[in-house]
Each structure stands twice: as C-alpha cells, then as structure tokens.
Amino acid sequence: MSNTSINQSTYWVYILNCDNGSFYTGYTTNLTRRFQEHLAGTDKCKYTRSFKPLGIAQSWQITGTQSTAMKIEKFIKRLSKQKKQELVLHPDCLLSWLK
C-alpha cells in the first residue's frame, strides 16, 4: 500500500438551500450527520444557525484527501449564485469546471 492511498478517504462536498434564498457550501466525511448538525444549529454551524437549511441542494462524493475536498469546497464558494444554481441543476458540470 502506497502512502498516497493511506491518506485517501471519502468526503462529501455539499450545497444546502437556506431559508434566506442563499446557498451554503461545506464538506464532511459524513453527510447525514453534518446535515443534522446544520438542522440542529450546533456551535459548528454559525451560518446555518442564522439561515436555516431547507435541504441538501446537491452533493458530490469525493475520494481523495481532505485537501482535495477543501479545494473543491473553496472553488464552489467562490462561484456566483447563478453558477451555483447551474451546478445544482447540472452536478456533472463540476468536473469540467475544475479543470
């Protein structure tokens, strides 16, 4: 087993619809648990305590390092709202946009 595969894991990068009409983007290793934390408004969920999540608009399962998941999250966060809406409707675009 190479060192690369040791650091590989499964992450979820996700977009939530919030009650103020905005999108929230994050990443996690456990999408169900993390969404429940957003709904409960735990201390880790500052934004979604103020703007309640209505649901998961879209999610992507990422196999790689935490750094990879963070880079994808950062990329999505920088998109305009219109581009995020497009991504929600056409999730397969993400791969081509990241190139």
pLDDT tens, residue by residue, 2-41: 444 556 899 999 999 999 999 999 999 999 999 999 999 9
Q: With H, G, I as helix, E, B as strand and everything else as coil, classify residue 7.
A: helix
Beta bridge partners of 28: 12
- Give domain status of residue 97, yes or no: no
- Give domain status of residue 98, yes or no: no
- Give domain status of residue 17, yes or no: yes
Please give the pLDDT value at position 6: 58
pLDDT tens digits, 6-16: 568 999 999 99
The domain that contains 71 carries what CATH number? 3.40.1440
Please give the pLDDT value at position 8: 80
- Give domain status of residue 81, yes or no: yes
Closest to 59 in 3D by CA, of 8, 17, 20, 96: 17
Number of domains making up the chain? 1
Where in the sequence is the domain holding 53, given as residue range(s)?
3-92
List, as own/partner pairs, every contact residues 78-83 make where C-beta atoms lie below 8 angstroms and the sequence separation is at least 24, other chains included. Answer: 81/22, 81/23
